[in-house]
Chains A and B, each alone.
Chain A
Amino acid sequence: MVMLSRRELLASMTAAGITGGLLPFGLQRMAFAATNDPLLIVIHLRGGCDGLNLISPSNDPTFIDARASDLRVIDQGKDAGYSLANGLDKNIDFRLHNAGGGMAELYKNGHLTFVHACGLKDATRSHFVATDMIEAGVSTQLELAHAESGWLTRGIAAAGGSGGLDAFAISGTIAGDLRGANRALAAGDINNGLGAVGGAPVSSLLWRMYGARSDALAAAGKLALELPTIVDERIARDEQGHVIPYVAENSANYDSAGGFANALKSLARLVKMDVGLKAVTLDYGNWDTHEGQPGRFRGQLEPFSNGLAAFWNDIAAYHNRVCVVAITEFGRRLRSNKSNGTDHGRAGVMMALNGTLRGGRMYGTWPGLATEQLEEGVDLAVTTDYRLVLSEVVHFVNGSKPATLFPGFQPAGHLGLWA
Chain B
Amino acid sequence: MADRSASDSILFAINRLGYGPRAEDYDALRRMDVNSWLDEQLSAPAGDDDHVQERLMSCKLRIKYDDAPDKWHGLDEMRPLVTLDKPIESLWTVYDPQKQMSGPEKARARQEVIAATMLRAIYSKYQLREVMAQFWHDHFHVNAFVDDHIATALVSYDRDVIRPHCFGNFRQMLEAVASSTAMQYYLSNRSSRAGAANENYARELFELHTLGRENYLNDHYDRWREVPGALEGKPAGYIDQDVYEAARAFTGWTIEDGANIDNGRKLPMTGRFTYVENWHDGYQKRVLAHEFDPFAKPMDDGRRVLDLLAAHPATARHMSAKLCARLAGPNPPASLVARVTEAWQKTVNAPDQIARLIRLIATSPEFAESRGNKVKRPLALMANYVRIMGYEFTPTEGVFNQLAGAGQRLFGWPNPVGTPDDNNYFLGSNALRNRWNLLLGLAMNWWNTGVVDPHRALEEWGGRVGTAGETVAEWFRLFGGYANEDLISTTVLAANLLPYAQLGAGDTKGLMQASALAAMAPEFQMC
Contact = CB atoms under 8 A, between A and B. Distances in A.
Interface of A: 46-47, 122-129, 140-141, 172-174, 185-187, 194, 196-198, 201-202, 204-206, 208-210, 213, 215-218, 220-221, 223-224, 226-228, 283, 285-286, 288, 290-292, 335-339, 341, 343-344, 376
A227 B493 CA distance: 24
Contact of B222 (A209, A292, A376): A376
B517 interface: yes
A139 B455 CA distance: 60
Contacts of B423: 216
A344 B203 contact: yes
Contacts of B424: 216, 220
Given A124-B218, A126-B203, A202-B517, A208 B191 contact: no
A291 B191 CA distance: 7
A197 B430 contact: no
7 contacts: A124-B218, A172-B431, A173-B431, A197-B440, A197-B520, A218-B522, A224-B433
B198 A338 contact: yes
B281 to A, nearest CB: 10
Given A174-B428, A208-B487, A339-B193, A221 B522 contact: yes
Given A198-B436, A220-B424, A224-B436, 11 more contacts: A124-B219, A126-B218, A172-B407, A217-B525, A220-B429, A224-B432, A228-B433, A286-B146, A286-B414, A290-B188, A343-B200
A227 B430 CA distance: 8
Contacts of B409: 172
B354 to A, nearest CB: 24
Contacts of B243: 125
For the complex of A and B, 6 pairs with smallest distance between CB atoms: A220-B427, A339-B191, A224-B432, A338-B193, A201-B494, A290-B200
Interface in B68-102: none
B212 to A, nearest CB: 10
A186 B430 contact: yes
Interface string B472-514: 0000000001000011001101100000000000000000010
A153 to B, nearest CB: 13
Contact of A205 (B198, B430, B494, B522): B494
A288 B415 CA distance: 10
Interface string B415-453: 101001001110111111100110010000000000000
Contact of B197 (A209, A213, A227, A337): A337
A338 B192 contact: yes
Contacts of B192: 337-339
B188 A341 contact: yes
A336 B192 CA distance: 12
A46 B424 CA distance: 22
B413 to A, nearest CB: 9
Contact of B430 (A187, A283, A341): A187
B141 to A, nearest CB: 12
B240 A125 contact: yes
Nearest to B222: A376
B218 A185 contact: no
A373 B219 CA distance: 18
Nearest to B430: A187
Nearest to B241: A376
Contacts of A226: 429
A125 B206 CA distance: 12
Nearest to B426: A220
A122 B220 CA distance: 9
Interface of B: 146, 187-188, 191-200, 203, 207-208, 213, 216, 218-219, 222, 240, 243, 375, 404, 407, 409, 414-415, 417, 420, 423-425, 427-433, 436-437, 440, 481, 486-487, 490-491, 493-494, 513, 517, 520-522, 525-526
Contact of B216 (A46, A129, A216, A224): A129
A376 B194 CA distance: 21
A204 B218 contact: no
A46 B414 contact: yes
Nearest to A207: B490
Contacts of A172: 404, 407, 409, 431
A205 B487 contact: yes
A209 B521 contact: yes
B213 to A, nearest CB: 6
A174 B194 CA distance: 40
B430 to A, nearest CB: 4
B491 A123 contact: no
B437 A197 contact: yes
B428 A173 contact: yes
A128 B432 contact: no
A245 B517 CA distance: 31
A290 B198 contact: yes
A184 to B, nearest CB: 8
Contact of A128 (B200, B207, B428): B207
Contacts of A197: 433, 436-437, 440, 520
A201 B520 CA distance: 14
Contacts of A196: 433
A127 B415 contact: yes
A285 B194 CA distance: 29
A185, A198, A218, A226: residue with the most chain B Cβ atoms closer than 10 Å: A198
A196 B521 CA distance: 16
Contacts of A338: 191-198
Contacts of A201: 490, 493-494
Given A125-B218, A201-B494, A223-B429, A339 B517 contact: no
A123 B188 CA distance: 23
A213 B191 contact: no
Contacts of A335: 196
A240 to B, nearest CB: 17
A252 B180 CA distance: 45
Given A206-B436, A208-B490, A216 B427 contact: yes
A47, A197, A208: residue with the most chain B Cβ atoms closer than 10 Å: A197
B218 A209 contact: no
Contacts of B208: 128
Nearest to B428: A186
Contacts of B194: 338
Contacts of A291: 188, 191, 198, 200
A283 B414 CA distance: 11
Contact of B407 (A173, A185, A202, A216): A173
Given A206-B520, A337-B198, A141 B219 contact: yes
Contacts of B200: 288, 290-291, 343
Contacts of B430: 185-187, 194, 224, 228
A285 B517 contact: no
B415 A285 contact: yes
A205 B490 contact: yes
Nearest to A198: B440
